[in-house]
Each structure stands twice: as C-alpha cells, then as structure tokens.
Structure 1
Amino acid sequence: MTVLAGAEPFSHTGSTEVGILLCHGFTGTPASMRPWAEHLAEAGFTVRCPLLPGHGTTWQEMNRTEWPDWYGHVRTELESLLETCETVFVAGLSMGGTLSLRLAQEFGDRIAGIVLVNPSVMTLRWDAKLLPLLSKVLASAAAVGNDIAKPGEKELAYPRTPVRAAASLSKLWKLVRDDLPKVTQPLLLLHSVVDHVVEPKNSAIVLAGVSSTDVTEVLLENSFHVATQDNDAPLIFERSTEFFKATRLAGQVDAG
C-alpha cells in the first residue's frame, strides 16, 4: 500500500541520554507531529514518530486495523527506545495521547514522563453508543481531521472517518479510562479551550483519574484540536522541551 506523500514516519537519532516517542492521532499521520519532532531533534533528543498501521494510506485500509495494531506498533517503538536511551518519554496528540496513556499504564516507571495534547478517552457524541452497530452496516462517516484555527494550515488526514476503526478506538478508550490510576509518571497536559473533535471533558477525566503527583495543565487559548499545527504550536514545543529537560534532571538528582 502506497503511503501518502508527507505521511512518512519521522526518525532522528540524537543523544542516547533522552529518547522521545511521539504518537499521532486517529486518521492522522506523523505530518501533524513533524514540526514538534523537528524541534525536539534540534534540541538534541532522539525522536521517533511512527506511522500507525492503517494510517497514511486510505480510510478503507484503516478499517482493516484495530486498536491492538496501533498500540502494538508504538509499543515496539518504545521498547526499541528503552534499549538505546537512558531516559524515555512518550507524547501524543488526540488518540496518540490515548496510546501514550496506555503505554504509561503498562510500562510504569520505565517511562520517565508523558506529554498529552488534547488526549481522547471518550466522546459526548450521541451516536458513539451506536458504533458497535454502525460498524456492521456503515463503512465511513464525516471526517474528524483538519480542526485547525490557523489560516492556511491543513492537516494530512483522511477525508472520511472509518467507522469500524472508530468502534475499535472506543474499546481502547474504556480500557484506558479504567486504568487511569495506574498512570503515576510526571504529566504535562496541554489542551485547547475550543476543540471541535475532542471535548475538553476528556482532559478533565484524565487529570482527575491519574495517580501522578507531578501534573501540569496548560490551556491552549488560540488553537483548535490539531494544536501541534496551530497557533499554539510554539508553546507546545517550548513547554514540552522544558518538561523533558527538567524531568530528566530531577530523575538524575533522585538517583544520586
């Protein structure tokens, strides 16, 4: 299957001291994370942003994948980083945040900290409850991509939402919500005040559910859902870089 131009994975090998795994969103691609990834690479970190299975090709192809496929892929990338880098962080946008939380729940303190941008763990949409039924009779629905406030900016995402894949995502949401208390790592959560895809309640649920004691919440006042490509992108890049450096330093002090 041919990968869309611009949807290719991002990989940069920098310092072995810090490795960062970036996870993109549902129906999206690493293109939404590339500016962030490049910023982190310039800061000297080792950075990986894989293309999730079923993404970056066609929505029909994505309907042939389920959440264990997406999670298994980022899990493999994480294990590789853990083998080569002293300190490893995970960060994600939207469903990438969901996957990041699941990794945090499974790997515990092997992950030094997590950064979430508009993470999704549920939806208030009335038709979401019908997804198991709809997925059997409806192949696709209206697109969820490209929610960006910045003029002229466009997300590389599917023009339709694959319904069977969406139904699988809802199963992952429940698992992640149920296990939120297992998240203990330092957490930086940045979320948009106005988001037409992932309701702000998602961030509230995450903040209320995790067991992390080192938690920072940042409001993004000038961006919609795809904030990594929006007006607040520089803020995300700056705050996350500071978070990675400070958390790494704190870990060294504790170890000493």
Structure 2
Amino acid sequence: MIGCLCIHGFTGAPYEVEPLAEYLHEKTTWRIVVPTLPGHGETLSLKGITYKQWIECAEKEMEKLLVECETVDVIGFSMGGLIAAYLAEKYPVEKLILLSAAAKYINVGQLLKDIKQMWKDMRSGTLSENELFLRYKNKFLFTPISAAWQFRKMAACSKPLFAKIQTPTFIAQGLADGIVPPKSAEYIYRRLPSRHKEIYYVPHAKHHICHTGEKEQLFEKVFTFLKGSSRVI
C-alpha cells in the first residue's frame, strides 16, 4: 500500500489541504492521513506551543505510515512544506509535494494589492464577501507573537535541509500569493539536489493554492507526478 501524509500550514487546519486529499482519495486506494498540528484547527490555541511539537506530531504520523505502508509520500502546504522537507531529509520519503512552501514569506507587492482590495470592499460594504479577509480575520486576532516566533524558528531549522534532499520533488506556487512569494519556489528548486524535480506556477492562485479556481489542473499535475508510470493506484 502507498501512504500519503498531508501537512497543513501555520495557523491553519486540515481544510487547507483537504481538497487535494479528497481528490487523491477518489482516484486511488492509498492511505491518506491529514493530521492537525498542535495548537491548530478550527479554534487556535497556539500559546505555549513550540515548533518542535509540530515536527513531533508529523513524525509520529510518518512513522505510523512507514509501518503500515510499503512507500510513503509527503505533501506539505506553506509551513507544512517546511515540515515535509524535514521529513524527506530524515525518513525514506518516496515523493515530496511542496505547495506554497514558506522558505521565504511575505510578497509585499501582492499583499499591498490584497489590502487595497479589502479597503475598497470595506468602503463599498462588501468586505464580508472578500475571501481573503474571511480566511485571515481570526488568524490576526488569535495568533500570539510567540507563535509567530516559533514559525520563524521552524523556517530557520528547515531551510538548510533543502540542499540535502534527494527525494523526487514537485513544487507548486501561486503567482498571486501575498504570503509566500514566487521566489520561494525558485529558491527551493535551485537548492534541491534531487535529479527529479518539477516546478509549476498557478497563474491566479493566492496562498491557499488547494482552494483556487485552477485547482483541478494543479491536482492533475500532482497526481501524475505521484503515480509515475508504474505505481498501483
């Protein structure tokens, strides 16, 4: 059996990667696991949580899959991409998928455009319909500074690992992402010594790349990369 571990991002929850997980579930008989990292979920409780706890959570799920399955793939979104890189360097990961992986963060130009649009929507009384505002309003309110510092530690811990990863890797990045800039994907691609690596840009996707209108094309490319030419689906 093939196992697939999907890891969500900072201040996020499984919903961030669930569209892709559901797509793979429908297409395959693989064992697909989407854990909730400590302090995360629909209600954030990040105070006192360390980045090491996020890694330990992912490692436990990885070790379970390695016992249950013949091979294991890892999919990581945003900060989950950093954790996925950690796992790929430490464990025998068969294939690695990095979605909006946060090796670098804050795309100032796009973020300013998004803020400008929110301001327009607020003045016109339609802010409650702005998808970006709806996704992030609670995160801004309930994310302690200490948690943001733990995220920075996670990034510092993981970034050097990209230069050691030999695992076949597929990198996907939205060009309209205000949180993680396209240069993050470029940085990862250049650093990876893996002989089998691909990079794919989704033209209009913002940060939540699994929820973009172009997600079907993205999912097809991810699935094609994962299944290869000989794997049992």
Category of TM-score, reference length = shorter chain: 0.7 to 0.9
Q: Once the 2 structures are TM-superposed, how far is the Cα of residue 155 of structure 1 from its aligned partner? A: 4.2
2:144 to 162, 184, 201: 162
Q: Moved runs in structure 1, 4+ residues, more than 6 A?
A: none
For 1:41 and 1:194, the matched residues in 2 are separated by 28
Q: Once the 2 structures are TM-superposed, how far is the Cα of residue 234 of structure 1 from its aligned partner? A: 1.2
Match in the other structure for 2:31: 46
Match in the other structure for 1:139: none
For 1:41 and 1:219, the matched residues in 2 are separated by 24
2:186 to 204, 215, 219: 204
> Structure 1, residues 1-23: CA drift from partner, whole Å, max 9, x if none?
xxxxxxxxxxxxxxx2x110000
Letter in 2 for 1:122: K
Alpha-carbon contact 1:56-1:157 (below 8 Å) kept: no
Letter in 2 for 1:27: T
Alpha-carbon contact 2:39-2:46 (below 8 Å) kept: yes
Alpha-carbon contact 2:175-2:181 (below 8 Å) kept: no
1:102 to 57, 82, 86: 86
Residues 158, 22 of structure 1: alpha-carbon distance in 2 compared, 3 angstrom cutoff: farther
Alpha-carbon contact 1:63-1:162 (below 8 Å) kept: yes
Residues 116, 157 of structure 1: alpha-carbon distance in 2 compared, 3 angstrom cutoff: farther
For 1:114 and 1:158, the matched residues in 2 are separated by 30
Residues 65, 56 of structure 1: alpha-carbon distance in 2 compared, 3 angstrom cutoff: same
Match in the other structure for 2:171: 189
Could you tell me which runs of 5 or more consecutive residues in structure 1 were left unpaired when the two chains were aligned.
Answer: 1-15, 127-149
Q: Once the 2 structures are TM-superposed, how far is the Cα of residue 158 of structure 1 from its aligned partner? A: 3.9
Alpha-carbon contact 1:187-1:214 (below 8 Å) kept: yes
For 1:125 and 1:64, the matched residues in 2 are separated by 28
Match in the other structure for 2:19: 35
CA RMSD of aligned residues (A): 2.3
Residues 176, 231 of structure 1: alpha-carbon distance in 2 compared, 3 angstrom cutoff: same
Alpha-carbon contact 2:106-2:178 (below 8 Å) kept: no
Q: Once the 2 structures are TM-superposed, how far is the Cα of residue 125 of structure 1 from its aligned partner? A: 8.0
Letter in 1 for 2:83: L
Could you tell me which runs of 5 or more consecutive residues in structure 2 were left unpaired when the two chains were aligned.
Answer: 109-128
2:69 to 71, 85, 90: 85
Residues 170, 159 of structure 1: alpha-carbon distance in 2 compared, 3 angstrom cutoff: closer
For 2:151 and 2:131, the matched residues in 1 are separated by 30
For 1:207 and 1:64, the matched residues in 2 are separated by 34
Alpha-carbon contact 1:192-1:221 (below 8 Å) kept: yes
For 1:37 and 1:120, the matched residues in 2 are separated by 20
Match in the other structure for 1:231: 213
Q: Secondary structure at the match of 1:62?
A: coil
Match in the other structure for 1:70: 54
Residues 124, 223 of structure 1: alpha-carbon distance in 2 compared, 3 angstrom cutoff: closer
Match in the other structure for 1:10: none
Letter in 2 for 1:80: K
For 1:199 and 1:80, the matched residues in 2 are separated by 33
> Structure 1, residues 218-244: CA drift from partner, whole Å, max 9, x if none?
110121010101112112221111111
Alpha-carbon contact 2:81-2:100 (below 8 Å) kept: yes
Letter in 2 for 1:163: I
